[in-house]
Every structure is written in C-alpha cells, then in structure tokens.
Amino acid sequence: MKLKGIIKGQTIELLEPIAIAEGSEVTIEISESELEPKPNWTELQKVIGIWQEDTEIQEIFEEIERKRHLDLERDVDFDNL
C-alpha cells in the first residue's frame, strides 16, 4: 500500500484516511529524490578560507572597520526621542 502525506516537524500527516488503529507502528520508505541534499564536504573544503591569501579582502575589512568608527556628526536631540 502506498500513501501520501505531509511532513510537519516529526509528524507525517496522511492526505487520505486509512484504517489503522491509533498508536500502531508503521514503517515508511522515503525515496532518495525526496531527501534534502547534504552539503558536499569536499566541495566546501575547496572554498573554506579561499580568501585567506587574498590581499584585497584585508583592504575591504580595513575599510569596513574604518567606516564603523567614523564620526558622522549627527545631531541627537534627546528631548524629542
């Protein structure tokens, strides 16, 4: 017998009624095509730290840090907050 259902957390909600007693143990089979792909560690390793030797990235981080500490000379009116 093949049934369809929808996953909701750890629950499978069947799309059609079935005559099985409440609390019955069932076995399900999930096709590989339905599973979410796991990240390929080999592929991730190729890009992890790829920017490590990139001198431009250091310049980018320095620019971000410089901008974070700029005094933008904004007036703050504490009376009208």
Residue 5 phi, psi dihedral angles, 5° rounding: -155, 175
Domain hosting residue 57, numbered range: 39-70
Virtual CA dihedral for 60, 62, 63, 68, nearest 10 degrees? 130
Residue 34 lies in a domain: no
Would 66 be classed as within a structural domain? Answer: yes
Each residue's pLDDT expressed in tens, for the chain with a length of 81 residues: 888 889 898 888 999 999 889 899 988 887 777 777 777 787 887 888 887 778 888 889 899 999 888 877 777 888 887
**pLDDT at residue number 80:** 81
Asked if the structure places residue 60 within a domain, the reply is yes
Query: Number of structural domains, the chain?
Result: 1
Q: What global pTM score does this model have?
A: 0.37
Q: Tell me, yes or no, whether 51 lies in a domain.
A: yes
Res 15: pLDDT = 92
Residue 52, in any domain of the structure: yes
Q: Report the distance separating Cα 70 and Cα 63, nearest Å.
A: 11
pLDDT of res. 45? 78
- pLDDT value at residue 64: 92
Residue type, 32: E
Residue 64, in any domain of the structure? yes
